[in-house]
């Protein structure tokens, strides 16, 4: 129990340190994809409040509406939208989603690494490395690629499910299907890269 608390605290602290720039006033969250995600989240929040269908955001395209979430993973817009119902601020909600995405990606990588190596210290190192990888941080702070950023939560779960299935011969369809499906909802086109690497892994 003490070890679990220790490793949990370390992952939590690392994620908080990495997220310090989110509190900077001059952080440009609108750059690149940022403005799109914030607007989608804000309009999704409004749609939920008014009881509209969220797959077609009626305020876009000069009031004609646009089915953005049919072409782009809806997990990011729903995450921001639901939190915006609580915070009433889409930008703050966007930053909260970024933090939660980083923390959860570290946790899922910890469990995946622990299962493969059976070593908590190695799993912790892998988790911290995963959270601080340059591409991970580039998606978070420069590209504002929230969909791709959130997909990092589910990649370890996909391979954890495959590991259980092929190495331990334990059928856990809920884990594999759930991880793949949520991956698809976070970033639909990156899903195909994961599919290809999964194919290589099982062969």
180 pLDDT higher than 90: no
* pLDDT, position 203: 65
List the single range of 25-29, 65-69, 88-92, 114-118 with lowest mean pLDDT. Answer: 65-69
In the predicted model, what is the mean pLDDT of residues 176-188? 72
Per-domain boundaries in the chain:
27-202
Both tokens of 149, joined, read 């950023």
In the predicted model, what is the mean pLDDT of residues 114-118? 91
Backbone angles phi, psi at 66, to 5 degrees: -150, 135
pLDDT in tens, 125-151: 999 999 999 998 999 999 998 988 998
* pLDDT, position 26: 83
Instruction: Select the highest-mean-pLDDT range: 62-66, 79-83, 199-203.
Output: 79-83
Both tokens of 84, joined, read 């915006």
pTM: 0.88
Q: Are 121 and 110 in contact (CB under 8 A)?
A: no
48 pLDDT higher than 70: yes
105 pLDDT higher than 70: yes
pLDDT, the chain, mean: 85
Both tokens of 6, joined, read 């220790």
């Amino acid at each position: 129990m003490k070890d679990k608390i220790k490793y949990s605290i370390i992952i939590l602290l690392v994620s908080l340190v990495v997220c310090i720039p989110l509190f900077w006033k001059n952080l440009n969250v609108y750059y690149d994809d940022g403005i799109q995600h914030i607007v989608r989240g804000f309009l999704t929040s409004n749609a939920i409040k008014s009881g509209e269908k969220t797959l077609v955001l009626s305020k876009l395209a000069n009031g004609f509406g646009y089915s953005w979430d049919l072409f782009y993973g809806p997990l990011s817009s729903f995450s921001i939208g639901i939190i915006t119902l609580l915070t009433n601020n889409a930008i703050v909600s966007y930053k909260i989603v970024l933090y939660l995405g980083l923390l959860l990606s570290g946790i899922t990588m910890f469990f995946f690494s622990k299962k493969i190596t059976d070593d908590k210290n190695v799993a912790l190192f892998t988790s911290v490395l995963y959270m601080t990888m340059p591409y991970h941080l580039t998606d978070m702070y420069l590209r504002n690629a929230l969909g791709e950023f959130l997909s990092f939560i589910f990649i370890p779960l996909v391979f954890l499910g495959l590991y259980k299935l092929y190495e331990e011969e334990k059928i856990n369809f809920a884990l594999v299907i759930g991880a793949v499906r949520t991956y698809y909802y976070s970033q639909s086109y990156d899903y195909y890269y994961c599919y290809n690497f999964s194919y290589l892994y099982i062969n």
